[in-house]
Structure 1
Amino acid sequence: MDPEKPSVDRVGKDKSEPEIGASDAGKSTPSEKSLVVDVEAQKGTSGPVQGTEEAPPTQQITYILGWRLHLLTLAICICGFVTNVEVSIVSTSLVTISDDFHSFKDNIWIVSAYQVTYTAFLVIWAKLSDIFGRKKILIIGLVIFIAFSAGCGGAQSMTQLLVCRAFQGLGASGTFAVPTVVFYEMIPRTKYPLYSALIFANVILATVVGPLLGGAVDNDSTWRWIFLIQIPLGVVALAIIVLILPMKFPYHGSSSSTATPPNSLRSSLKKIDYIGAILLLAATFIIVTPFLEVSIDYAWSSATVIVLLVFGGLLWPGFVLWEWFVSRTKKLGHLEPFFPFRFFHNRLYMGIVITSILMGIPATIISFEIPQRYQVANGLTPLGAGIRLLSFVCAQPLGSFMANAIAGATKMPPLFILLAGTALQILGLGLMTMLPSSGAIPGAQYAYQAIMGWGCGLTFSIVMLITPFTVEAKDLAVATSSVVQFRLTGQAIGLAIATGVLNSDLSSKLSGLLSTSQLQSLLRDISIVDTFPQNLQESVGEIFGKAYNLNIKVMIGFAAAQFLAAGLLWRRPQLSIKHKA
C-alpha cells in the first residue's frame, strides 16, 4: 500500500477525543468513529486562544494505522532515546573526558554546548516543520545529529569536541522537536495518556541507561563510544522515517479541495521570522554563558559577566516585544512568529510554560551532580556512581504511569497531580541535604532519590499531557515544542547557576587549603587530587561534598517556586481530562 495514502474510514470530527473542562461536568462522548479529523473542528475542545492572526484553511488530519503506526512509534521512541541519552550518558564520563584533554574547568561545556543548541532551536525546528513539512525537517535534523555524533567520537581536542557537541545538539533539537509533534498528530486524543506514558518511559529509559552505559564504556573502553553508539540507532530511525512517514503528514489524507496548495521554496522562506529566531537564540545563549564561566575565568563583579547578564536580560523582553510586533503588524502578515503573542493571553498555557522552566532544574542537577559527587567526594568509579543514581531515574517512569493513569481514568484535575509531584520533589531534596558530605554513602539516600524521582515523573508527564488541550490545533507544533524548549532552557540556566554556585564555593573554601597553582591544576584535572597527601585528599573531598549539598539546597527554592507557577492553572471548576464512552 502506498504510504502516502493510507486507508481511512471516513472524514469528519473525531468524536472520541477527550475534553479538558470542568471536573464536575458530566458530558459523555461517542465512541471513536473516524480516522480523519477536521482541524477546525478540534478547536472547540482545545481551549482556543484569542488572537489577531487569521486561521489557516480547513485541513484534515489523517491518523496513522496498523503496522505503520507501530513502526513510527518505534522511530519516535528511538529519536527520543538517542537525543536524551546523549544528555545523561556523559554525566559519568565528564571526569574522564576532561582529564583526557586536561581541562576539568571546561567539562561543564561538554554538557552545555549540547544543551544550549538543543534547547535554543526546538521552537525553530517545530516552526520550520510547519512551513516545510514534518518529514523533510525531521530528516534534516536526524542527518545532522548522526553526522556530528561521529564528529564527537573522533574529536582530538576539547575545542573540537565542544564544536561537534554544539552541532550535535542542533541536530538533536530537530530530532526531538519534530517527532514530538508527529506523536500528537498521528493518534486521536483518547490515546494520549497511554502513548504519553510510553514516550515518557522511553525518555526515562534513556536517562537510566545513559549513566550506566557511560560508566560501563568508561571502565572497559574509550569514552569515544558514548557518542559513536548513537549512529546505528539514528540510521534505523532515519530509514523508518524515510520509508514510512507520508510526505504531507499529517494532511496526507486531505482531498485536493481542502488541502493547502504547496508553497514554493521562496514563499516558504519568506514566512520565517528570522529576527525572532536570532533574538531567541541570542537570549538563550548569552544568559547561560556567564553562569558557566563565573568563578573560573571571571568573577561575578567582572565587566564581562555583568555585560552578558544585562544584555541577555534585555534580549528576552526584546524577543517578546518583537513577537508582539509581528503578531499585530499587518505589513508583516506574511511572517509566522515563532512564539505567537496570543499565547501570552492564555493564562493556562503560560502557567504550563513557567512550570516547565522551573521543574526541569532540580532533576537536571541531581542527574549530573550526584554521579560527579560520588566520584569526587566518595571515590567511586564512573560505573559505581551511575548505579547509585538508579533509584532516582527508575522512580520517574513510575510517576509518569501513575500521572497518566489517574488523569485518563478519573476526573482528578491535572493541577492536583502537578502539586503532588512538586511536594514530593521538595521532600526528596530536603532529605538529600541530610546526607554526609564524605565517607560511606548511607542506604537511605536511595529512598530519598526515589521520592525525588517519583515527583519528577508526576510533574513532567502531566505537563506534556495537558498542553495540547490548552491551545488551538494550528498552534500545536509551536506550543508543545515551546514547553520542551522552556523546560530545557530552565535546565541549562539551572545547571549554569549550580555550576556557578559550586565553583564559587570551591574557590573560596579551597583557596585557604591549596596554593593558587594547585587550585588551578585541580580545576583543570580533578584526577590530580590523587597526588595530594591522604589527609589533604580527605579535606578536599569533604569540601566538594559540602558544595554539592549547598547546590541541593538551592534546588529546593526552584522546586518550591513551582507551587506559585502552578497557581496560574487554578480555576473554578478545576480542569480535568475525561474519557467517557
Structure 2
Amino acid sequence: MATETTDTTEQGREGADAAPRSVRVVLLALMIAMLLAMLDNMIIGTAMPTIVGELGGLEHLSWVVTAYTLATAASTPIWGKVGDMYGRKGVFLTSIVIFLIGSALSGMAQDMGQLIGFRTVQGLGAGGLMVGVMAIIGDLIPPRERGKYQGMMAGVMALAMIGGPLVGGTITDHWGWRWSFYINLPLGAVALAMITTVLHLPRKERAAGTRIDFLGAALLTVGITAIVLVTTWGGTEYAWGSATIVGLSTGGLAALAAFLYVETRASDPIVPLHIFRSRNFTLMSLIGFVTGFVMFGAVLYLPIFQQSVQGASATNSGLLLLPMLLSMMVVSLVVGRFTTSTGKYKVFPIAGGALMIAGLFLLSTMDTGTGRLVSGVYMAVLGAGMGFLMQITMLVAQNSVEMRDMGVASSSTTLFRTLGSSFGVAVMGALFTSRVKDEMAARGGSALTERTAQLDAASLAKLPEALREAYQHAVAAGTHSAFLLGSAIAVLGFVLAFFVKEVALRGAGPAAPKASSGDDTPKVAETV
C-alpha cells in the first residue's frame, strides 16, 4: 500500500485570494485561447471543399486535418512538462504565438503542401493552448473553487462545436477560405494582451542541472504519431492487415515500451510515472479516454444520421446537436456549483457513466422512422452524461498530484482524451462503414459505396426512391452498430468510476482552517 501526498502550495492560496475581477479577466483570456484551439478544426471542415478547389491536391486532403491532429497530440505532453519546468505564463504565451504564426502562414499558403506544413506549425501551438489553459486554471484556482468555472469551459466547448461549422461556412462564403485562418489573429492578439498584462504567477525555480528529457520526448512523439496514424489510416487509406498499419502498430508499441523504460531512468522525465501511482489520477485518465471515445464518435456520426436519414441540411444538422450540447453545458455548470459548495464529487463519474450508457443505447435504437424530437431527447441524455464527466475528470486528476506536476497532469489527462477521440472516430467509423456496405449490398444498392456514406440531404433527394430508401436503412444500421459499440465502451467508464476515492479537494473555501505555524503546506494524503 502506497501513500501519495498532495501539497496545497502558495500558488493555490494566492489563486484563492486573488481579486475576483482579475481572475475573471484572466479566465476570459484563457477561454479565448481555448476557443481558438477547439474552433479551428470545426471551422476548417466547412472550408475544405473551397480550399481544394483553389489549391488542388485532393489526394492530400486528409493530411490537412491529420497534420494538425498529429502535431497537437505529440506536443501536448511536452508543453505540459516545459510549463512545469520554466513557468506557465511564458510557455503559454509562446504556444499562442506559435499558433498565430501557423494560422497566418496557413492563410497565405499557395499549394496543398504548404498548407499541410503550416497546419503542422499551428497544431504544435494548439497542443500548448489546451494544456496551458487547464494548468493555469489549476495554478490560479484551488480544486474546491474550480467547479464554479466548469460551466464556462463546457460553454466554450459547446460554442465551438455548434458555432464552428456555421462560422466557417459564413466566412468562406463572404470573405474567402483564407479568413478561416486569419480570424484567429485578432482573437489571439486579444488573448495575448490580456494574459501579458493581467496574469501573474510565481516564478519557477528549478534545481541546477535540470534539463529536458529529449529522448523520452522523442520516443513519446514517435509512439503517439504511430497510434494516431493507425487510427486515422486504418480501414480507410490502408487495410487493417496491411504492412503499413501493422508496421505502424508494431513501431508505435515498441516506441512506447522504450519510452516507459527511459522514463524510469531519467532524472527529470517528460512524464513522471509516479503520477500514475495515484489511483484517482489513473482512473480519471482512463475515464477521460472513454469520454473522448464516446463524445467525438457521437459528434461525428449524429450529423450523418440527421442529414442522410432525417433530411437535415449540413447547417441544420449542427444546430440539431443543441440538445446534447446544451444539456452537457447545464449539467456541467450544476455539477461545478455543487462540487464547490460541498466538496463532493464521487457520485458524478458514476452518474455520468450510467447516463452515457443509456444515451448511447437509446441512440442505437434509432431507425428511419425516428423523428427529430425523439432523437433530440436521446442526445440530451447523452449530453447530460458527458456533462457529469467533462470537467470532473480534469479537476480530480489535478487534485491527485502535487502542484509541481500540474502541467504534466493536465497534459496527460488531455492526451488520454485526445487518444480516446482518435480511437473512437476510427473504430466507430470502421464499424459504421462496414455495416453500411453490407446493408447496401443486401438491399441491392451496390451502386453506392462507402465513399458516398456521407451524402447530404440535397444529393440524397436526387437518388431514385428505391436507392434512397436502401441508403437510409443502411446508414441507420451503421449508426446503430456504432452507437451500440459506444455504449459497450461506456460501460468501462461506468465500472471504473466505482473505484474513485473521494479525496478532499484542495482549497476548501473561506471556512477552511489555515495551516498551523511552521507548516505552510497543508497536506491531503491519498491512499492507494
The TM-score bracket by the shorter chain reads: 0.7 to 0.9
Q: Does 1:481 align with 2:411?
A: yes
Aligned equivalents of 2:44, 2:370: Cα separation in 1: 25
Answer yes or no: is the 8 Å Cα contact 2:304–2:454 preserved in 1: no
Aligned equivalents of 1:546, 1:104: Cα separation in 2: 30
SS at match of 1:385: helix
Task: Write out per-residue CA displacement over residues 430-451 of structure 1, whole angstroms, 9 at most, x where no aligned residue.
Answer: 11112124x7743111111111
Answer yes or no: is the 8 Å Cα contact 2:84–2:404 preserved in 1: no
Higher helix share: 2
Q: 1:492 to 1:261 in 2, by over 3 A?
A: closer
Q: Which piece of structure 1 moves more, 458-467 or 495-504?
A: 495-504
Aligned to 1:313: 253
Aligned equivalents of 1:562, 1:440: Cα separation in 2: 28
Aligned equivalents of 2:83, 2:37: Cα separation in 1: 18
Q: Does 1:250 align with 2:195?
A: no
User: 376, 379, 382: which is aligned to 2:314?
Assistant: 382
Answer yes or no: is the 8 Å Cα contact 2:144–2:509 preserved in 1: yes
Task: Write out per-residue CA displacement over residues 221-252 of structure 1, whole angstroms, 9 at most, x where no aligned residue.
Answer: 64544333222111111122233334xx323x
Letter in 1 for 2:104: A
Q: 1:229 to 1:495 in 2, by over 3 A?
A: same
Aligned to 1:566: 497
Aligned equivalents of 2:339, 2:138: Cα separation in 1: 17
- Structure 1 residue 514: Cα displacement: 6.7
Q: Does 1:131 align with 2:85?
A: yes
Aligned to 2:39: 85
User: 76, 91, 94: which is aligned to 2:30?
Assistant: 76
Aligned to 2:503: 575
Q: Does 1:285 align with 2:225?
A: yes
Q: Does 1:468 align with 2:392?
A: no
Aligned to 1:391: 323
Aligned equivalents of 1:524, 1:101: Cα separation in 2: 23
Aligned equivalents of 2:406, 2:445: Cα separation in 1: 54
Q: Does 1:491 align with 2:421?
A: yes
Answer yes or no: is the 8 Å Cα contact 2:226–2:252 preserved in 1: yes
Aligned to 1:260: 205
- Structure 1 residue 546: Cα displacement: 2.5
Answer yes or no: is the 8 Å Cα contact 2:171–2:177 preserved in 1: yes
RMSD: 3.4
Answer yes or no: is the 8 Å Cα contact 2:55–2:112 preserved in 1: yes
Q: Does 1:350 align with 2:276?
A: no
- Structure 1 residue 157: Cα displacement: 5.1
SS at match of 2:396: helix
Answer yes or no: is the 8 Å Cα contact 2:234–2:426 preserved in 1: no
Q: Does 1:234 align with 2:188?
A: yes
Task: Write out per-residue CA displacement over residues 281-310 of structure 1, whole angstroms, 9 at most, x where no aligned residue.
Answer: 111121121232233332222222222222
% identical equivalent positions: 27
Aligned equivalents of 1:465, 1:65: Cα separation in 2: 22
Aligned to 1:557: 488
Alignment of 1:53-68 (within 5 A): 62-63=14-15, 64-65=18-19, 67-68=21-22
- Structure 1 residue 532: Cα displacement: 5.2
Alignment of 1:154-165 (within 5 A): 154-155=108-109, 158-165=112-119
- Structure 1 residue 204: Cα displacement: 3.1
Letter in 1 for 2:389: T
**Count of matched residue pairs:** 501
Answer yes or no: is the 8 Å Cα contact 2:308–2:454 preserved in 1: no
Answer yes or no: is the 8 Å Cα contact 2:353–2:494 preserved in 1: yes
User: 367, 383, 392: which is aligned to 2:299?
Assistant: 367
Structure 2 segments unaligned to the other structure (5+ residues) = 512-528
Q: 1:521 to 1:561 in 2, by over 3 A?
A: closer
- Structure 1 residue 373: Cα displacement: 3.4
Aligned equivalents of 1:525, 1:416: Cα separation in 2: 42
Aligned equivalents of 2:162, 2:361: Cα separation in 1: 23
Q: 1:192 to 1:311 in 2, by over 3 A?
A: same
Aligned equivalents of 1:175, 1:319: Cα separation in 2: 24
Q: 1:261 to 1:385 in 2, by over 3 A?
A: closer
Structure 1 segments unaligned to the other structure (5+ residues) = 1-41, 47-57, 252-258, 327-332
Answer yes or no: is the 8 Å Cα contact 1:288–1:496 preserved in 2: no
TM superposition score normalised by structure 1 = 0.76
